[in-house]
Amino acid sequence: METLEVTLGGRTYPLTLSPDEVQTVREAAAAVEQQISDLKRQYAITDRIDLMAMVALQIAVQSKSQKPPEASSDGGPEWPQGDIDSLLQRIHSALDR
């Protein structure tokens, strides 16, 4: 297991991840930070909680409206839903600290 610190909305969160999860979480955190930046620019929103809530809503809508591909864009297999759920649970646990 590896410890990775991700920054979301100006706050840093330590996560304990398997080596296989590190790159995916880094990319996801970068995507969230980009969406936060885009929202700040487009709507002049400055409240961190509002920004995080809107990004969460955007991600949820995107995930519901897209059929998951059978393979990832790099040709590798998609993560099984149980792995995704486990990772999300660990992220939620880190946020509750």
Reported as a single tens digit per residue, the pLDDT across 33-59 is 998 998 888 887 888 888 888 888 888
pLDDT, position 81? 65
CA distance 18 to 6: 15
CA distance 61 to 57: 6
Going by pLDDT thresholds of 50, 70 and 90, the confidence category of residue 84 is low
